[in-house]
Amino acid sequence: MRGKLRPKRRSGCPVSISLERLGDRWSLLIVRDLMVRGYRTFKEFQESGEGVASNILADRLRKLEAAGIVEAEVEESDARKINYRLTEKGIDLAPVVFELLIWGVRHENTGAPCGMIEEMANHREEVLAEVRKRWEARDTTPFLPPFAKRGR
Amino acid sequence: MRGKLRPKRRSGCPVSISLERLGDRWSLLIVRDLMVRGYRTFKEFQESGEGVASNILADRLRKLEAAGIVEAEVEESDARKINYRLTEKGIDLAPVVFELLIWGVRHENTGAPCGMIEEMANHREEVLAEVRKRWEARDTTPFLPPFAKRGR
DNA sequence: GATTTTGCTTGCATTTCGCAAGTGGTCCGG
DNA sequence: CCGGACCACTTGCGAAATGCAAGCAAAATC
């Protein structure tokens, strides 16, 4: 599975290549869960409220791992559990997730408090530094909550 | 087809809602073409080198328009042509596209010159300001070229 | 040892996608 | 004003991806 020739690369544009990895409904949500919600296990992702099917979730975790964005490791205290964690390549997606967050809050009817997110947007560098710091420290306390449904 | 009730909103998380609109292989590539390549017409998007099928392209343009991200307007000098343009909501995606660009260059084997993009990353605010300025001025001179294929 | 938990896999119906071909206005040269 | 090119899409259809429910093996718990 390593030295495979890729199915086809559409273009050399970095945006396009990034979207080859992340351009679907679920991949960046898993990254978000790992990055700001402190989720680690299959079950937590499944129950994150977005409603991923288990086969799709398994497939995305496999692909994210193959792409070097997440790592999997069996928990030593409980061999049933597999802890997923972002790699450095994965945590480097923080700005992407952050900008999607800001855009969503500004332009869509979301369940998140605009004021608080705008405040975060005004301290972009600090927020991103804090997210990375927590990643380095393996600190899994949630940075953002799962926002409730709102609107329709 | 207009006043439909949404199928279902998965969660109130802004990231999730943003991905409802943009989480697929093509939508952000169209936004990129409009934002930094100066493309305006159906034909230009089709020939952008990514290989979108025409039915998919038509569908995405329809959805982007429905979401208020692009506007369509018949060209007055040639009634066959339809010019697409980003709305303000659309140009506000510049940071998202920019971060995908930077991440791709840093972590994937792309056809873009790392040095130049890193230089841009170091002048984030100026770059984003310039992109927006061109949008305001309706300046369609390309900001970035279509990077050639590279690697396998 | 039976039950529960966890992280998946399997089967199957439905949806979306990709590809090739076709359609209907519009422009342009003669 | 006629034939041909052009542009922005549709249409039809096979293939792939997705969603859903059920099942399953290994490990932990009772």
- Residues 6 or more apart in contact with residue A97 via CB below 8 angstroms: A28, A31, A32, A35, A36, B15
pTM of the model: 0.93
Above 60 in pLDDT, residue A3? Answer: no
- Residues 6 or more apart in contact with residue B117 via CB below 8 angstroms: A14, B101, B102, B105
From the list B6, B22, B152, which residue is nearest A6 (CB)? B152
The span from the first CA to the last CA of chain A, in angstroms, equals 44
Please report, rounded to whole angstroms, the spatial distance between the CA atom of protein residue A58 and the C1' atom of nucleotide C12: 19
Which range of A4-8, B10-14, B97-101 scores highest in mean pLDDT? It is B97-101
pLDDT of res. A10 = 67
Contact between the CB of B53 and strand C at under 7 Å: yes
Nearest to B83, CA basis, from B133, B36, B45: B45
pLDDT of res. A149 = 66
Strands A70-74 and A82-86: antiparallel
pLDDT of res. B152 = 40
The Cα of B112 is separated from the nearest Cα of chain A by a number of Å equal to 7
Above 50 in pLDDT, residue B123? Answer: yes
> What is the share, in percent, of chain A residues with pLDDT greater than 70?
91
- The C-alpha atoms of residue B65 and residue B83 are separated, in whole angstroms, by 12
Tell me the CA distances in angstroms from B31 to A50, A80, B93, one per residue in order.
25, 43, 8
pLDDT of res. B103 = 98
- The C-alpha atoms of residue A110 and residue A149 are separated, in whole angstroms, by 7
In the numeric block, the tokens 């093509």 are attached to B26
Q: Which of chain A's residues have a Cβ under 8 Å away from the Cβ of B89?
A: 107
Residue B84 — φ and ψ, nearest 5°?
Answer: -95, 150
Strands A82-86 and B70-74: unpaired
Tokens of B120: 């841009």
* Banded model confidence at residue B149, pLDDT cuts 50, 70, 90: low
Contact between the CB of A19 and strand D at under 7 Å: no
Above 50 in pLDDT, residue A114? Answer: yes
| For residues A65-76, average pLDDT | 98
- The C-alpha atoms of residue B13 and residue A76 are separated, in whole angstroms, by 32
pLDDT of res. A11 = 85
| For residues A3-22, average pLDDT | 76
For A49-69, what is each residue's pLDDT tens digit?
999 999 999 999 999 999 999
pLDDT of res. A105 = 97
Q: Are A31 and A86 in contact (CB under 8 A)?
A: yes
For B35-58, what is each residue's pLDDT tens digit?
999 999 999 999 999 999 999 999
Tell me the CA distances in angstroms from A32 to A45, A48, A143, B16, B43, one per residue in order.
10, 11, 10, 9, 36
CB of A107 within 8 Å of any CB in chain B? yes
